[in-house]
Amino acid sequence: MTLAEYSMTAFALMNGGRVVAYFPQMIRVYRDPHGATAVSLLTWALFTAANAATVCYALAVTDDRIIATVFSLNALGCLAIVGLTAFKRIDVARRVAMLWHRIASLRHSQNLVERALFAEIRSPRGSRNGSPSARHRDDMIRQGLMS
């Protein structure tokens, strides 16, 4: 075997390993509950662009379809990581926004209940006073347990 053939074999093996090595990163991004904040979108986008540029070079300058195929697979792996990370971050942001909406809704409900209780306590003495027994009687009347 010539040096060129050894080099091509090493290239194919190492880059084939790179293609396989993208999968653990994809799994980590998928499982990360915090939006994969440790993954740099800029870095993986740059890797994608570099691999795509190598594909263009391999096809346009050297007309080497093997190198173009290998780097196409690498570009797809990098692009998949970019896409999964972006999707994960959007999903986490959506869930956080929903959580804040729920918290705001609960706070609003709490304020309404507090205002109603405060208004009931401050009501004039007479038919409805703020005593616990009067509130209990009114609750029982509302529930239909008492007339």
Question: CATH code at 71?
Answer: 1.20.1280
Residue 71 resides in a domain? yes
Query: Residue 11 falls within a domain, yes or no?
Result: yes
Q: Is the pLDDT of residue 34 over 50?
A: yes
Domain-embedded: residue 126: no
- The answer to whether residue 35 is domain-embedded is yes
Say yes or no to pLDDT of 83 above 80.
yes
Q: Give how far the C-alpha of residue 142 lies from the chain's centroid of Cα atoms, to the nearest Å.
A: 46
* pLDDT band for position 126 (cuts 50, 70, 90): very low
Contact between 49 and 62 under an 8 Å Cβ cutoff? The reply is no
Any domain includes 125: no
Cβ burial of 86 (10 Å; 0-12, 13-18, 19+) is: middle
For residue 28, the tally of other CB atoms under 10 A from its CB is 14
- Number of domains observed in the structure of the chain: 1
User: Which residues are CB-contacts of 15 (< 8 A; sequence separation ≥ 6)?
Assistant: 70, 71, 73, 74
Query: Is 0.75 surpassed by the pTM of this model?
Result: no
Q: Would residue 101 count as lying in a domain?
A: no
Query: Which helix (H) or strand (E) segment is 82 a member of?
Result: helix 65-121
Asked if residue 85 belongs to a domain, the reply is yes
Structure tokens at 44: 């993986």
Q: Which tops the pLDDT comparison, 140 or 3?
A: 3
How high is the mean pLDDT of the chain? 85
| Residue 12 located in a structural domain | yes
- Nearest-angstrom CA–CA distance, 61 and 106: 64
Show the domain range for 49. Answer: 3-94
